[in-house]
Amino acid sequence: MTVLIKGGAVVNADRTFVADVLCSDGKIVEIGDAIDAPSGAPVVDAGGQYVMPGGIDPHTHMQLPFMGTVASEDFESGTAAALAGGTTMIIDFVIPNPQQNIMEAYRTWREWAEKSVADYTFHVAITWWDDSVHEDMGTLVREHGVNSFKHFMAYKGAIMADDEVLVNSFSRAIELGAIVTVHAENGELVYRLQKALFETGMTGPEAHPLSRPPECEGEAANRAIRIAEVLKVPLYIVHNSCRQSLEAITRARNEGQRVFGEVLAGHLLIDDSVYRHPDFDVAAAHVMSPPFRSKEHQDALWRGLQSGNLQTTATDHCCFCADQKAVAGTTSVSFRTARVASKTAWKCSGTMASARAG
């Protein structure tokens, strides 16, 4: 089959320019100024639009070990699915356990990713701090091309980075010319709210958004932004889900600070009514962190993209089957909401649930 895409702005790695693109049998066969459509070939008017050879998903978690199980989508099936949808590259995350050697974790993830069928690279999470971490960040940047370090401000008692880790890691990143990224939620507040909800007996999916209100996210976003401002490091905030974090980003950008914001497809399209779904499994399947928010926040996120205060969209792709979720629930020390904390079923097909972690 042959298709002519006319008049779009062709975005290549090296330059952007207005051109026509002729595709035949799934391949680009010609790029030029005024290509005539072959007889019978459909013509797409791309005037005023970008034409890209493929998309980049800057936020995925293939075969992630998490709460006693492992994300069911591995690097092969996951990148194959991505390609099928036009995503030709993913940026996944190396997430060392606290006290785990960073290089060791990095080598593990690199090995897992060998079987990928699309392009890939990694953000590396900084989940603890000592001199070896300081050293390894340098090795990763200088010898392995890593240029982005991730920090989880939530998940107290697990991978949470407190202010001390943030300040040390951000300081090291700017020395190395790397960018820092954060999952912005105040982990102490979340922990407190989870405990309080558990004590009242609210342990179902309906408790999940109550345990992680927008104010927790906005606070953490603002904190990361201000620490980055003082330490003069560029910052990228993943999966902004609410007005509060968007406002923190907007304030900083209006002052000229280099802060960037990502938004997930899910937060743009799904609202928090899912947590009150009469079918427990449907409600539980949507548990992820940050949670889905009310319509007010969805409107704000779209406005954020429109204004340019948010720059990227991602999926946070992280699949768990329904039975895996049950396992996570069983091994969870605290309560049923925690069981699926930061997990959500994305779309279910057969016995397989496509889920995402924050």
* Site for a second copy, rule CB under 8 A: 14-18, 162-164, 166-168, 171, 186-189, 191-193, 196, 213, 215-216, 218-219, 222-223, 226-227, 229-231, 250, 253-256, 296, 303, 306-309
- Nearest Cα residue to 61 out of 78, 76, 84: 78
Contact indicator for 290, 358 with CB cutoff of 8 Å: yes
Q: Which is nearer to a second copy, 24 or 171 (CB)?
A: 171
Residue 189: CB minimum distance to a second copy, A: 6
Min. distance of Cβ 10 from a second copy in angstroms? 9
Q: Which is nearer to a second copy, 249 or 284 (CB)?
A: 249
Q: Are 133 and 176 in contact (CB under 8 A)?
A: no
Element (H, E) at 50: strand 50-51
CB of 192 to a second copy, least distance (A): 5
Q: Which residues contact 68 (CB under 8 A, 6 or more apart)?
A: 327, 328, 331
Measured from the CB atom, is 71 or 190 closer to a second copy? 190
Nearer to a second copy, 145 or 256 (CB): 256
Q: Where do the DSSP E strands lie in 134-178?
A: 148-152
Is residue 157 within 8 Å of residue 194, measured between CB atoms?
no
Closest CB 53 distance from a second copy, rounded Å: 16
| 124-159 b/e (C-beta count within 10 Å ≥ 16 → b) | bbbbbbeeebbebbeebbeebebebbbbbbbbbeeb
Strand duo 65-66 + 69-70: pairing: antiparallel
42 Cα distance to chain centroid: 36
Q: Are 54 and 79 in contact (CB under 8 A)?
A: no
Count of beta carbons in the 10 Å neighbourhood of residue 322: 15
- Torsion 185-187-188-191 (CA) sign: positive
**What is the spatial distance between Cα 226 and Cα 220, in angstroms, rounded to a whole number?**
10
For a second copy, the closer of residues 31 and 282 by Cβ is 31
One-letter amino acid of 336: R
C-alpha 23 chain-centroid distance: 31
My answer on whether omega of the bond before 290 falls inside 30° of 0, hence cis, is yes
Minimal distance, residue 60 CB to a second copy, in Å: 28
Q: Which is nearer to a second copy, 134 or 303 (CB)?
A: 303
Taking the complex as a whole, the smallest distance from the CB of residue 191 to a second copy amounts, in Å, to 8
Least Å from the CB of residue 256 to a second copy: 3
Judged by beta carbon, residue 16 or residue 132, the one nearer a second copy is 16
Rounded to a whole number of angstroms, the minimum distance from the CB of residue 163 to a second copy is 4
Handedness of CA 45, 313, 310, 291 (dihedral sign): positive
Closer of 116 and 186 to a second copy (Cβ): 186
